[in-house]
Amino acid sequence: MTVHTEVRGSTLLVTLDVPKANAINVATSMDLYATFTELRDNPALRTAVLTGAGERFFSAGWDLKAAAEGEAVDAEHSPGGFAGLTEFFDIGKPVIAAVNGLAMGGGFELALSADLIVAADHAEFALPEVKLGIVADSGGVLRIPARVPQAIAMEWLLTGRRITAEDALRWGLVNRVVPAADLLDTALELAAAIEESAPLAVAAVLEVTRETEGMRVDEGFRLLRAGDLPAYRAMIASDDALEGPRAFAEKRSPEWTGR
């Protein structure tokens, strides 16, 4: 198996384990897609933490050996896109990338497709696709310009240079940079903090931010009020939306039911 899973409370810990560089081919993409489908469909799971085995590589991205053996550049990696996650938009539960080393090419794109990123202090990121005659079309060319200033995005995309964890933090690409020994605990603590919130509210935040990305504020409000966002509608009509204020008034912790 190239993907290992472990349940820690309500968190699904996902470890990519492909010696030597955690590179991803179609089979591994399908394994990851199945894993994130389980996250979506299992009501007992609230969050996921995704990391790589070892300390050197989070993921080297696309398996170039498989490519050299004939796996097409535009291979349909999975219904969730490359690495099973880059085009999987309706999970409804947060994924935290715990980047334990180099995140190169598709490995960087995999990290970018998570909702939050915690990086080890020795981690580095890069999108070197242009040096291979291709482009970072598993999310890099779309997500990087949306998250950092245009000039910075273009430099990274056109040169393929490596970005340190501290640079990624400075430009807002990662949430935390921590010593490698603290990486997994930090990611799990972040997951636990999210899990204190109502699950339908968390799903609504993910949906609204995704569907309104790039919109003007007035356009976003029109979409909210149109009733076309199912997770947002479910949150508004939920028992949990009543339980939160009630628990606050009664000075107790809320008991979320996800209904």
| Ordered per-residue pLDDT tens for the chain, 259 residues | 899 999 999 999 999 999 999 999 999 999 999 999 999 999 999 999 999 999 999 999 988 776 666 665 555 689 999 999 999 999 999 999 999 999 999 999 999 999 999 999 999 999 999 998 999 999 999 999 999 999 999 999 999 999 999 999 999 999 999 999 999 999 999 999 999 999 999 999 999 999 999 999 999 999 999 999 999 999 999 999 999 999 999 999 999 999 9
Task: Give residue 227's domain range.
Answer: 199-249
CB 47 within 8 A of CB 92: no
Tell me, yes or no, whether 221 lies in a domain: yes
pLDDT score at 226: 94
Question: What is the length of the chain?
Answer: 259
Pairing status of strand 11-16 against strand 116-120: unpaired
Q: Do residue 174 and residue 242 come from a single domain?
A: no
Tell me, yes or no, whether 170 lies in a domain: yes
pLDDT score at 77: 82
Tell me, yes or no, whether 41 lies in a domain: yes
Q: Do residue 56 and residue 151 come from a single domain?
A: yes
Q: Do residue 223 and residue 174 come from a single domain?
A: no
Q: Do residue 207 and residue 105 come from a single domain?
A: no
| Sheet containing 95-99, strands listed edge to edge, beginning at the edge strand earlier in sequence | 3-8, 11-16, 47-52, 95-99, 116-120, 176-178
Tell me, yes or no, whether 204 lies in a domain: yes
pLDDT score at 74: 55
pLDDT score at 68: 64
In the structure encoding, which two tokens stand for residue 132, read together? Answer: 């291979």
Count Cα neighbours of 203 within 13 Å in the Cβ-side half-sphere.
Answer: 25
Given the residues 124, 129, 195, 207, select the one marked as catalytic.
129
Tell me, yes or no, whether 259 lies in a domain: no
Tell me, yes or no, whether 172 lies in a domain: yes
pLDDT score at 63: 84
Q: Do residue 107 and residue 228 come from a single domain?
A: no
Known catalytic membership, residue 129: yes
pLDDT score at 67: 67
pLDDT score at 204: 97
In the structure encoding, which two tokens stand for residue 183, read together? Answer: 């990486």
Known catalytic membership, residue 71: no
Residue located via tokens 């334990």: 100
Which residue type occupies 172?
G
Which residues contact residue 235 at a Cβ distance below 8 angstroms, ignoring those fewer than 6 apart? 198, 200, 201, 203, 204, 241
Q: Do residue 106 and residue 227 come from a single domain?
A: no
Domain count, the chain: 2
How far is it, in rounded angstroms, from Cα 42 to Cα 184? Answer: 22
CB 28 within 8 A of CB 73: no
Q: Do residue 178 and residue 62 come from a single domain?
A: yes
pLDDT score at 1: 80
Given the residues 109, 124, 195, 207, select the one marked as catalytic.
109
